[in-house]
Amino acid sequence: MPEAGALSEFAVELRDVSKVFGDIVAVDHVSMGIRHNEFFALLGPSGCGKTTSLRIIAGFERPTSGEVYIDNKPMGNTPPFQRNVNTVFQSYALFPHMTVEQNISFGLEMKGVSKAEIARRVGEVLELVRLPHMAKRYPRQMSGGQQQRVALARALVNRPKVLLLDEPLGALDAKLRKEMQIELKTLQREVGITFIFVTHDQEEALSMSDRIAVFSKGKVLQIGTPLEIYERPTSRFVADFIGETNFLTGRVTQVDGEFAQITTNGGATFRGRAMPGVRAGIEATLSVRPEKVQLVEQPDDSVNCYEVVVRSIAYVGSDTRVVVMLGENRIDVWEQNTISTLDPNYFFKPGERAWLTFKPENALVLAE
């Protein structure tokens, strides 16, 4: 047990935290550490336990078992108003009967900060979120994006150790969302506060986070950098949930060092990176992302080269998305259009034969 208040690697740590509502296990033995000044995403489909985990950190829910540490101090039954964290709510939860200024002052007022200091800091934070002229407005007189920034300002003005964000961009339209993603990321770097960010949008998580925890059914399946999560998913769920991928199921015939060989149910044998838990003889899944597969007209002598039939082809500008059949198995191939051509014969056509190929280091053998 570390000494309370001692320096720790983590700003927030969850140790074996579970939360049970009636007979539903919302959070199932979750352990994770969020480092100081990190942009950390909790990513997963709805009902996976990510929001409940955030609410446990904020103090709105008490864990059924396990403990939350903020700045290395066990939180126990510490109520939300005594935790040095602030939350940006999905609905923003701006006080409708107060002006923007009053909303933002509220937290400082509660801490007993002097009036002059409050005025100064409110002014500062309004500059930071680029709403200096909106101080006297009421929330209902503002657009969704502006309300979102007020919610952010109201939390940031308290200079919390950790900022908790519950799908803060969920209510914005796609264009504004993209803008706010960049803005939020820039802001986080400027203020140097740990951000814990709940989202179900994998692209958002990938583009913004330093690290991501992928949730499914109350459990954390994997924690890693966006690169690790995308390129080295350790489970079928993570490979499937983040980005697009092709799955081929089969049996592992051989493991040598970093690589494993899998014979699919269709009889083809592929090589890929052996992920944790892969042993010879087990049922496993080969996962290869569509952009990592190439189609060629002539077979080469590489290991993962098989003849396929083109089923459909869709030109989407930057890519050409080809669906091919390897026996009964459908495989998606995204070929980047690296040359500019108007020649229709440059592309494959449905019904044509082709050879698919990918390097073993670009595919994963997952132990599921």
Partner 1 sequence: MASDVVLLGERSEIKPRPRKESRGIGLGRFALVTITFFTFAFLYVPIAVLIAFSFNSARTGATWQSFSLQWYERVFSNTRILEAAANSLIVAALATVGSVVIGTLMAIAMERYQFRAKLAWDALLYLPVIIPEIVMGISLLIFFAAINLSRGIVTLVISHIAFCMPFVYLTMRARLADFDRSLEEAAQDLGADEWTTFRRITLPLLMPGIISSALLAFTLSLDDFVISFFVTGVGSQTLPVYIWGQIRRGITPEINAISTLMLLLSIVLVVVAQLIQRRQRA
Q: How far apart are alpha carbons 37 and 366 in whole angstroms?
A: 33
**In the complex, minimum distance from the CB of residue 68 to partner 1, in angstroms, rounded to a whole number:** 15
User: How would you list the strands of the sheet with 294-296, edge to edge?
Assistant: 294-296, 353-357, 305-315, 319-326, 329-336
**In the complex, minimum distance from the CB of residue 205 to partner 1, in angstroms, rounded to a whole number:** 23
**Helix 144-156 to helix 100-110 angle, to the nearest 10 degrees?**
20
**In the complex, minimum distance from the CB of residue 110 to partner 1, in angstroms, rounded to a whole number:** 4
Q: Which one-letter amino acid corresponds to residue 341?
A: T
* Nearer to partner 1 among residue 163 and residue 366 (C-beta): 163
Nearest residue to 13 (alpha-carbon basis) of 185, 202, 206, 223: 223
**In the complex, minimum distance from the CB of residue 36 to partner 1, in angstroms, rounded to a whole number:** 21
**In the complex, minimum distance from the CB of residue 157 to partner 1, in angstroms, rounded to a whole number:** 9
* Nearer to partner 1 among residue 122 and residue 155 (C-beta): 155
Contact 144, 171 (CB under 8 A): yes
* Nearer to partner 1 among residue 59 and residue 218 (C-beta): 59
Secondary structure of 102-139 as H, E, C letters: HHHHHHHHHCCCCHHHHHHHHHHHHHHCCCHHHCCCCH
Binding of residue 93 to partner 1 (CB under 8 A): yes
Binding of residue 60 to partner 1 (CB under 8 A): yes
Contact 148, 187 (CB under 8 A): no
Q: What mask, x for binding partner 1 by CB under 8 A, covers residues 73 to 92? A: ------xxx---xxx-xxx-
* Nearer to partner 1 among residue 71 and residue 367 (C-beta): 71
Q: How far apart are alpha carbons 353 and 351 in whole angstroms?
A: 7
- Distances in Å between the alpha carbon of 9 and those of 33, 70, 78, 207? 8, 11, 22, 24
* Nearer to partner 1 among residue 55 and residue 271 (C-beta): 55
Binding of residue 111 to partner 1 (CB under 8 A): yes
Q: What mask, x for binding partner 1 by CB under 8 A, covers residues 9 to 48? A: ----------------------------------------
* Among the listed residues 12, 17, 41, 58, the single contact to partner 1 using CB under 8 A: 58
* Among the listed residues 76, 77, 97, 344, the single contact to partner 1 using CB under 8 A: 97
CB proximity list for 242: less than 8 A, separation 6 or greater: 43, 202, 206, 214, 229, 230, 233
Binding of residue 107 to partner 1 (CB under 8 A): yes
Reduced to 3 states (helix: H, G, I; strand: E, B; else coil), residue 248 is strand
Residues 146-205 that bind partner 1 (CB under 8 A): 154-155, 158
Reduced to 3 states (helix: H, G, I; strand: E, B; else coil), residue 145 is helix
CB proximity list for 345: less than 8 A, separation 6 or greater: none
How many residues at the interface with partner 1, by CB under 8 A? 24
* Nearer to partner 1 among residue 140 and residue 175 (C-beta): 140
**In the complex, minimum distance from the CB of residue 86 to partner 1, in angstroms, rounded to a whole number:** 6
* Nearer to partner 1 among residue 78 and residue 329 (C-beta): 78
Q: How do 319-326 and 305-315 pair as beta strands?
A: antiparallel
Residues found near partner 1 in the complex (CB under 8 A): 58-60, 79-81, 85-87, 89-91, 93-97, 106-107, 110-111, 154-155, 158
